Amino acid sequence: MEQTTGNRVVILGGSFAGLYCAQVLHDTARKSAIPKPKITVLDRNNFVLFATFLPEVLSNQVNPLTVVPAIRRVTGQRDIDFRQTEIQGVDFDKKLVHTETGDFEYDTLVIALGGATNFYGNQNAERYSFPFKTLADGLRLRNHVIDCLERANQSKNAADRRRLLTFVQAGAGCSGLELMTELEAFLHHVCGRVYRNINYYRDVRLILAEGLPRVLASLPELASQAGLAKLAKKGIEVSLNTFVTDVGPGWVELGKGERIETETLIWAAGVKANPMTAQFPFEKDRIGRIKVDEYNRVLGQENIYAIGDVAHFIGEDGVPLAQTAQVAVQQGPALARNLIASWEGKLMRPFRFHYRGDLVSIGNLDAVCTPFGWNIFGLSGWLLFKWVYFSKMPVMQNRFRLLSDWILYFLQGPIVSRLDEFGSERTVIGKPKEPNA
């Protein structure tokens, strides 16, 4: 067991919420007269997944390593102890975190374990579809799309080709639209040019099923309409008020029984809390998020806090805050400042979320953006999207990589090589995933 003395803060999860919390906690504590806390960050990955650019990994606008800035680039410059390890559970009575590499004692615990794909109990969707939440998800889907192209390019059978080149996606929220339009951009680029037997307009079919009455449902109506119009212009078929009801080997069923022959169902239909929260004896909402008060303190607890996607925080309008990085990067630092304030004997300040709008890229050179209530669509929106997220990339090294990736992509187009080690066969429709895969 790791034995230390003093004020031990253990942060579970080193992504947007956890890492930003650790960083501000360290930097603010340095300027304070209080004894310095011992900050430990635990995460199974030694990187932060900058998920905004995950759709661009699919289209190869950016390389996989570019979207995963190393946690040590942030913690290494500070007195923050980062451990790459799998968290297995927490003994709240003994104030111990159990991990695969040992136990960690804490005085203050920050839970920032994020979310997971929500299949809403649809077991076939979980078994056969491609989720899009982790880097491995992104690479697996990319490999699968390339497999479909390779097979379709060789096929003499028009029906087979059509099935292989029909891509169905559930979910048309912000990341769903980014994903589908990056897929469209990629296919548009390589069909005919790299895969010479495939005619994009003749063979490729892209279908977006959304259960709500509009795409980009969290954005204002005007932005939604603009998004829908842009999808139509790209030839993407959109079915609103339509759920994916079932999926099996080689087919997907939409709405009230429309059956589509396809090898690919992409699942971008929802997020829930990290399943580990099921072990925690706290009050939770229906998607497993831990209920917290206005200071992000877990209800009924003294020194346990939850932030980011794993927390159920009621906003000023009475609605729980969305699971976005925009929330996570505000909650992490706010909690850090409150912890320092409480150790200094001062009052904590209730967390207020400042919504700054949404930036949604719609494939190459197009976007729907609503910064601070403004509507900026098209090329200027796309430039804004690129600039804002470029500047939000937490590590300078990765910013330079982003720039060079974008330049090379626009000069040379995408690379269609598969990254074999991530496979794709486990999730190809017709070959179900292994248990726990």
Ligand X SMILES: Cc1cc2nc3c(=O)[nH]c(=O)nc-3n(C[C@H](O)[C@H](O)[C@H](O)COP(=O)(O)OP(=O)(O)OC[C@H]3O[C@@H](n4cnc5c(N)ncnc54)[C@H](O)[C@@H]3O)c2cc1C
Strands 258-261, 251-254: pairing kind: antiparallel
Q: At what angle do helices 174-190 and 221-233 cross, to 10 degrees?
A: 20
Among 56, 203, 309, 405, binds ligand X (CB under 6 A): 309
251 or 313: whose CB is closer to ligand X?
313
Picking from 367, 364, 377, the residue whose alpha carbon sits closest to that of residue 409 is: 364
3-class SS at 195? strand
137 or 147: whose CB is closer to ligand X?
137
Quick check: 46 binds ligand X (CB under 6 A)? Answer: no
Alpha carbon distance 262, 112 (integer Å): 37
Q: What is the DSSP letter of 389?
A: H
Among 86, 221, 258, 425, binds ligand X (CB under 6 A): 86
| Residue 98: its H or E element | strand 96-99
Shortest Å, Cβ 290 to ligand X:
12
Shortest Å, Cβ 435 to ligand X:
18
Candidate segments 29-37, 46-54, 184-192, 220-228, binder of ligand X by CB under 6 A: 46-54
Quick check: 15 binds ligand X (CB under 6 A)? Answer: yes
Shortest Å, Cβ 162 to ligand X:
28
3-class SS at 108? strand
What is the footprint of ligand X within residues 228-257 (CB under 6 A)? none
Alpha carbon distance 138, 122 (integer Å): 21
Among 37, 69, 114, 288, binds ligand X (CB under 6 A): 114
Shortest Å, Cβ 35 to ligand X:
27
Candidate segments 41-49, 152-160, 345-353, 425-433, binder of ligand X by CB under 6 A: 41-49
Among 9, 14, 195, 364, binds ligand X (CB under 6 A): 14
Candidate segments 90-98, 157-165, 180-188, 318-326, binder of ligand X by CB under 6 A: 318-326
68 or 164: whose CB is closer to ligand X?
68
What is the footprint of ligand X within residues 133-192 (CB under 6 A)? 133, 175
Alpha carbon distance 339, 347 (integer Å): 10
Longest Cα separation, the chain: 75
Kindly tell me the sign of the dihedral angle through the C-alpha atoms of 362, 55, 271, 354.
negative
Shortest Å, Cβ 311 to ligand X:
8
Shortest Å, Cβ 57 to ligand X:
9
Quick check: 110 binds ligand X (CB under 6 A)? Answer: no
Among 90, 325, 369, 428, binds ligand X (CB under 6 A): 325
412 or 436: whose CB is closer to ligand X?
436
* Residue given tokens 């490729």 in the structure block: 204
Alpha carbon distance 436, 163 (integer Å): 28
3-class SS at 338? helix
Alpha carbon distance 34, 45 (integer Å): 31
Alpha carbon distance 271, 94 (integer Å): 31
End-to-end CA distance of the chain: 31
Among 63, 75, 264, 324, binds ligand X (CB under 6 A): 324
Task: For residue 418, give the amino acid letter.
Answer: R
Among 9, 29, 41, 54, binds ligand X (CB under 6 A): 54
Candidate segments 37-45, 120-128, 141-149, 286-294, binder of ligand X by CB under 6 A: 37-45
Alpha carbon distance 132, 266 (integer Å): 7
Among 110, 231, 276, 384, binds ligand X (CB under 6 A): 276
Point out which residues bind ligand X (CB under 6 A).
13-18, 42-45, 51-52, 54, 86-87, 112-115, 132-133, 175, 274, 276, 308-309, 323-326, 328
